[in-house]
Amino acid sequence: MSRIFMFMSLCALLCYTSCTSHKEEEKEEETEFLVTSPLKKDTTVLRDYVCQIHAISHIELRALEKGYLQKIFVDEGKMVKKGQIMFQIMPMLYQAELEKSKAEANFAEIEYLNTKRLADSNVVAPNELALAKAKLNKAKAELSLSQVHLGFTEIKAPFDGIMDHFQVRLGSLVDEGDLLTTLSDNSKMWVYFNVPEAEYLDYKTKVKKDSLIKVNLMMANNQLFDYPGVVETIEADFNNETGNIAFRATFPNPNGLLRHGETGNIRMTIPLKGALIIPQKSTFEVLEKKYVFVVGKDHVVHQKEITISAEMPDIYIVKDGLAADEKIMLEGIRKVKEGDKIEFKYEEPKSVISHLKVYVE
């Protein structure tokens, strides 16, 4: 009986020891945290800027003479060709003035020829011939002016473009300078966007002189425009109120999809040399500032503030506050606090980044 009791006691002791050891292993596994380091490599980031889309030429067409709008040869929203007649203002008055000027010019020419024959025969003084010549020149000038005024009654397209809506209707009395419509050349589009000073400096220092950087256009429907554009112009001055400077990109528009006045977002690819890349899940936020837990050689964690220069899905690019050889907590950051000593398992940063949704090239 005593042997049976001793045997049962031994089994219970072994079972307790085994359970205790198993629980200690589980506890040890539960308190082992995963850490990694920033991945340092050359990469690129995408930055979006709100933009305004403008036609390469967008002008107002205004009446050059006063009169009734007699004819409209085009329609709203239609393409017109350079030199095509678009509007005609009642030309009868100017046609009559032209005929009058022609008659006066003919009379002055006849008078000049008669005076010249007399001058050649020394019948009249040279001064009379000069006076007749001056009258002829004046008549010719008035004839040219009448032709110009008559021409002003026809409003012609100065370039190929698309008509906007009419500001006047057929039969309207228009005065000199009244707006008739606008005309847009949409063969190419100028897209303006504002860049902060710091990003402008990055752009100027990282882009070779006289090289053109390509950009893409995200349209208002969140679709990428089929044709890339190039940044051709940067304005001379910064806006002191916003701290921004305006860039202008030129986009081809062969299908006429883009129109004057549209909006969208310019997407620019920025190269980064030796960027420090960390997973977003390794960070936490306190009072709108970003922090990570850095693990020292003594296994003690310390809270460290970092500055983010760029953000992509699942990834942050660190501007400062972190070194490439430092170890940061990847998981369990909500389970520790400043000064805690932890056990950890280290995972290579390349392996960590490659398992995220977005792989940085």
Query: In the prediction, which pLDDT does 1 show?
Result: 46
Tokens of 69: 């709008």
* Residue of 201, 260, 199 lying closest to 60 (CA atoms): 260
Q: For residue 46, give the H/E element and its range.
A: strand 39-62
Query: In the prediction, which pLDDT does 248 show?
Result: 94
Query: In the prediction, which pLDDT does 27 show?
Result: 45
| Contact assessment for residue 70 and residue 132, using Cβ atoms and an 8 Å cutoff | no
> pLDDT tens digits for the chain (361 residues)?
445 545 555 555 455 555 544 444 444 445 789 999 999 888 888 888 999 999 999 999 998 888 888 899 999 989 999 999 999 888 767 777 777 888 888 888 888 888 888 888 787 788 888 888 888 898 888 888 878 777 778 889 999 999 898 998 888 888 888 999 999 999 999 999 999 888 888 777 766 666 778 899 999 999 999 999 999 888 889 988 888 999 999 999 999 899 999 999 999 887 778 888 999 899 998 888 999 999 998 999 999 999 988 888 888 889 889 998 899 998 888 888 898 998 888 988 888 888 775 444 4
Nearest-angstrom CA–CA distance, 36 and 54 = 48
Residues 6+ apart with CB under 8 A from 81: 157, 160
End-to-end CA distance of the chain: 75
Query: In the prediction, which pLDDT does 124 show?
Result: 77
Query: In the prediction, which pLDDT does 45 show?
Result: 80
Query: In the prediction, which pLDDT does 198 show?
Result: 82
Tokens of 193: 């966007």
Query: Amino acid identity of 187?
Result: S
Q: Around Cβ 110, how many Cβ atoms within 10 Å?
A: 12
Nearest-angstrom CA–CA distance, 332 and 290 = 16
Pairing of strands 343-346, 32-36: parallel
| Contact assessment for residue 45 and residue 319, using Cβ atoms and an 8 Å cutoff | no
Query: In the prediction, which pLDDT does 358 show?
Result: 46
| Contact assessment for residue 93 and residue 67, using Cβ atoms and an 8 Å cutoff | yes
> How many angstroms from the chain centroid is the CA of residue 142?
51
Query: In the prediction, which pLDDT does 205 show?
Result: 75
Query: In the prediction, which pLDDT does 292 show?
Result: 92
Query: In the prediction, which pLDDT does 123 show?
Result: 77
Query: In the prediction, which pLDDT does 209 show?
Result: 67
Q: Around Cβ 232, how many Cβ atoms within 10 Å?
A: 12
> How many angstroms from the chain centroid is the CA of residue 287?
32
Query: In the prediction, which pLDDT does 5 show?
Result: 47
Query: In the prediction, which pLDDT does 295 show?
Result: 93
Q: What angle do CA 43, 46, 50 make, to 5 degrees?
A: 160
pTM above 0.75, yes or no: no
Query: In the prediction, which pLDDT does 10 show?
Result: 54
* Residue of 164, 245, 208, 185 lying closest to 55 (CA atoms): 185
* Residue of 335, 339, 350, 351 lying closest to 33 (CA atoms): 335
Query: In the prediction, which pLDDT does 56 show?
Result: 93
Q: What are the tens digits of pLDDT across the range 233-260?
A: 888 899 888 889 999 999 999 998 999 9
